[in-house]
Structure 1
């Protein structure tokens, strides 16, 4: 039909079509458009100077600090504390020395958080102060904020010399050496393998008997509000043996409490050795954005091995995801006296529509079913949680359902924050941050008020009971008091007085890292007061 129509067209139209065909044939091809598109696809480098570049003017001797002093400043979560301990280890082995004199330090390093805008604002303010007070220092921004903003930090703050992401700390000696030659340096390359398993962290508080042990890094959950998968990368776990070796060394050094750390700590899965598990850790009723993970050694196996190192050393862990609490983990916590009966179950919201928008992978009902199983399996468990106030599209009714969830579950503590939209997250790309700041702040206050009401009820029920606390140090209340925590995590204040030991042995004042049996006498929403009875142990049953 088309051929007949063309044949009937006037000659002038046929000539025009012929001309068009020639023009199209002789016009720009695919290569032309690819070449034109290249500038818009250009990505800023993640590493500069590259090792191949710095090798032309740096020698291995330049990597050595030669006694240069470093002030370490840590902001944010426990993972950041542990990361700075890794940084200390790397720099100390390369001849750097720690100082508390911020004004006269040769190097000032800030370990940063990027989870909320307020966390980054705090860093920007600190950088302004450093610009005035530490004018000659080499200033480095490390961690999540470095990974999120990257070269933008150097562009915004001309005072910063160094930007290093969470997976590039091994490169610090080279990058610091490069800054001594008058240039900025950056490495924000994420890794699928880096766990720093072979580095022994150098802990800042030598007198403390509590230590963080990182067991995995990264997160695969991709909650829509969260920037962590973009600043910390994909999940990867340390080999079990390296973790057990570190825990054993800490036990030999007299540490009495270990806190296992990870962005999604209970999704731990060591794929480096056999036996291979075919089970998945995901709880029924919960779903993930990734295929079920199988194989390797799971968190339950690790927890069992860690708790067996020293039965008199308490074991805690954070921060978990509710989906990764299968029954074997709960049973192990119940059965091992030194695994603390404290679980962090981040709910984030009590409303199904909000949970769906957050990409949490569960409903209110599924979460409450898990809570019921936890309470049934672990008598006396202390639950804590996280909540976000004013997430995209959260209605007043949704907020009320979250308040009702807090009342129904009963948490000893909750971390509550107003929602802060973060670039690169799915919420930033797809959702509307349509709850006003005033409403977010009001809802945050209401969430905190309700959880404190319930916490007071829970703590009041402990009055008259005998508990075992681990002494952490002097109380902020006064030098005449000590503070410690019961198994489920609540802080306890006692008088610093001589106490008998087990079997009425000689009296002595309790020391940091000792267990003390106490009788609870008073309670607030966040702490307990107690009468100390005797120095004790886990095995004694107090």
Structure 2
């Protein structure tokens, strides 16, 4: 590690709780290593140069994991899943072997999510369960990484309560995993590496992908939207895009390996390219190039309505391997609530965007995210959410009761919607979601659909399962040789959230525009 890296990382070793440091000591400690979220400061960011680097495991670390096993438990979104794939790749490069049991692991990592309080509670509960392992085997390393690691209150709590933790590192520090492990092995103290700097873009990171049918490709990092309820702009940093040539090379490599579907990932994926200063190039341009690659299916997630531009719609309308399922989080159907959320669009603007997409892609299906019980949300405003849901005709939704996240502007608002009202609204919304999902599924009755077969059904090993182009789950009987292939299935039974069918034939070739 060079001196610049040392200064930037502010790598600090914190004493275990056995040292019984005082509250004052912890406060002083954090002043030196951690900059808590500041909306004012964060909105000024963007002037720093993002450095593009290639990853390589230092020669002295290459046999670090010989005879050792690693275990990673992942919480949260696809971005966290992708981060886990990268960390697994680094572990393999260091000589470690994977294990599916914490009992057999020499290193245990919890890759965490900070979106909701419930996710954090699960992590703290798991840390409690792992305490006995540390007592039984003091040599096992326990680490907390991911988005929770970049919240001051979380790190403070771990320092004070969970002395079984050996290392804490953030989302910008994954490429530093070999160094962090070495520090943890050599030290008797907790190793913390959390950069307040957003981080550079590191290419050629090794990955251990989950399966060989579908793959995630990260095209950008961070978010600059600062929705008042969301911690992501602070934990994931500013928006910064990978270079298109690096992404295209990765997709071509996946195609050559036989992958059938890729999902382009970003916290705000359709803001891709807006940070480039040398070229004018956005998600529409990238997808227009990727659609020409010989890979059957291409998806992207997650979109922000503000950045869903006309060029992207035009490219998606070309079809082919560009799928017509659009996940477009709306969060609320009320313009007033959207304003409090700082979503920067109105109900009318969202509906106009949906209208444009439907005009260009008549067979498009829409899913969304919705929060109920936001501060100051009235009954009338909630009714607007229900009416918008009906007007768009969503085919599915992730629905949530609002809960404040420390460090966000909304956490300072009065959470003035009673919990019983939040629960009643969620129940009514979910009833509508179920109704519309069932209606959307019913349209497939007796139809023949294209299914990418992912494997055996979770509920019945005699049944195969896969997804349509519109992300509908299909269960059907067929030969195991169909796994990993595209097949035609005739739908015989439409349920609320899945379809049953009979396999007709295997699709030998997929035409790519």
Instruction: Please give the range of the TM-score, normalised by the shorter of the 2 chains.
Output: 0.7 to 0.9
Q: SS state of the match for residue 368, structure 1?
A: helix
Aligned counterpart in structure 2 of residue 220 of structure 1, from 224, 238, 245: 224
Q: Distance in 1 between matches of 2:274 and 2:246?
A: 11
Measured at CA, do residues 420 and 540 of structure 1 come closer, stay the same or move farther in structure 2, by a change above 3 Å? same
Q: TM-score scaled to structure 1, two decimals?
A: 0.80
Say whether 1:244 aligns with 2:248. Answer: yes
CA contact (8 A) 2:487 2:503 kept: yes
Distance 1:380 1:298, change over 3 A: same
8 Å contact from structure 2 (residues 482, 506) kept in 1: no
Instruction: Give yes or no for the alignment of 1:520 onto 2:491.
Output: yes
CA distance in 2, matches of 1:538, 1:375: 28
Aligned length: 458
Separation in 2 of the partners of 1:539 and 1:107?
43
Contact 1:193 1:236 in 2 (8 A): no
User: Structure 1 537/397 Cα, relative in aligned 2: closer, same or farther at 3 Å?
Assistant: farther
User: In the TM superposition, what is the alpha-carbon distance from 1:460 to its structure 2 partner?
Assistant: 0.8
Cα-to-partner distance string for 1:199-233 (whole Å, 9 max, x where unaligned) = 13221x33x40011111110000000000001101
C-alpha separation between the residues in 2 aligned to 1:538 and 1:387? 38
* Distance of 1:271 and 1:215 partners within structure 2: 12
| Distance in 2 of aligned mates of 1:234 and 1:440 | 32
Q: Which residue of 2 aligns with 1:351?
A: 334
**Which of the numbers 474, 479, 485 marks the counterpart of 2:467?**
485
Deviations 1:299-323 (A, max 9, x none): 111111222111x420011111111
Query: Which of 296, 300, 320 matches 1:337?
Result: 320
Q: Work out whether 1:536 is the aligned partner of 2:482.
A: no
Partner Cα separation in structure 2 for residue 478 and residue 332 of structure 1: 39
In structure 1, distance between residues paired with 2:378 and 2:245:
48
RMSD: 2.3
Matched, 1:389 2:372: yes
Native 8 Å contact 2:239 2:275 kept in 1: no
Match among 143, 152, 161 for residue 157 of structure 2: 152
**Structure 2 counterpart of 1:43, from 28, 31, 39:** 31
Instruction: Report the 3-state secondary structure (helix = DSSP H, G, I; strand = E; otherwise coil) of the residue aligned with 1:196.
Output: strand
Native 8 Å contact 2:69 2:107 kept in 1: yes
CA contact (8 A) 2:438 2:497 kept: yes
Q: Which runs of 5+ in 2 are unaligned?
A: 1-26, 36-57
- Asked if residue 267 in structure 1 is aligned to residue 238 in structure 2, the reply is no
Give deviations 1:276-319, integer Å, cap 9, x for gaps: 22xxxxxxxxxxxxxxxxxxx21111111222111x42001111
Match of 2:182 in 1: 177
| Aligned-residue offset at 1:351 | 0.9
**Which residue of the partner structure matches residue 293 of structure 1?**
none
Note the C-alpha offset of 1:540. 6.0
Task: Tell whether 2:131 aligns with 1:138.
Answer: no
Higher relative contact order (CA 8 A, sep 6+): 2
CA distance in 2, matches of 1:406, 1:305: 33
Structure with greater Cα Rg: 1
User: Which runs of structure 1 show a deviation greater than 6 angstroms over 4 or more consecutive aligned residues?
Assistant: 39-42
In the alignment, structure 1 residue 453 sits paired with structure 2 residue 435: yes
Q: Give the structure 2 partner of residue 97 of structure 1.
A: 97
Equivalence for 1:109: 109
Aligned mates of 2:465, 2:402 — CA distance in 1: 33
Secondary structure at 2:482 match in 1: coil
Between the aligned partners of 1:462 and 1:163, the Cα distance in structure 2 is 48
2:170 to 165, 168, 171: 165
Q: 1:436 aligns with which of 393, 405, 418?
A: 418
CA distance in 2, matches of 1:360, 1:155: 36
Structure 1 residue 412: deviation in Å?
1.6
Partner of 2:39: none
Distance of aligned partners of 1:63 and 1:43 in 2 relative to their CA distance in 1, 3 Å threshold: farther
2:84 equivalent to 1:84 = yes
Q: In the alignment, which residue of structure 2 is the partner of 1:189? A: 195
| Separation (CA, whole Å) in 2 of partners of 1:401 and 1:387 | 12
Offset of 1:115 from its aligned partner?
A: 0.2
Q: Residue 258 of structure 2 corresponds to which residue in structure 1?
A: 254
CA distance change for structure 1 residues 61 and 534 in 2, over 3 Å: closer, same or farther? Answer: closer
8 A contact 2:366–2:394 mirrored in 1? yes
Please state how far the C-alpha of 1:86 moved relative to its aligned partner.
Answer: 1.1
- The answer as to whether partners of 2:296 and 2:510 remain within 8 angstroms in 1 is no
1:199 and 2:202 matched: no
Residue in structure 1 matched with residue 213 of structure 2 by the alignment: 209
Shift of residue 91, structure 1, vs aligned partner: 2.3
Rounded Cα–Cα distance in structure 2 between residues aligned with 1:59 and 1:470? 41
Displacement of 1:80 after TM fit?
0.4
Q: What residue is the counterpart of 1:475 in the other structure?
A: 457
* TM-superposition CA deviations, 1:488-541 (whole Å, max 9, x none): 1111111124xxxxxxxxxxx542221111222221221112222110156369
Residue 41 of structure 1 deviates from its aligned partner by 12
**What secondary structure is seen at the aligned counterpart in 1 of 2:73?**
strand
The answer as to 2:292 corresponding to 1:308 is yes
3-state SS of paired residue (2:103): coil
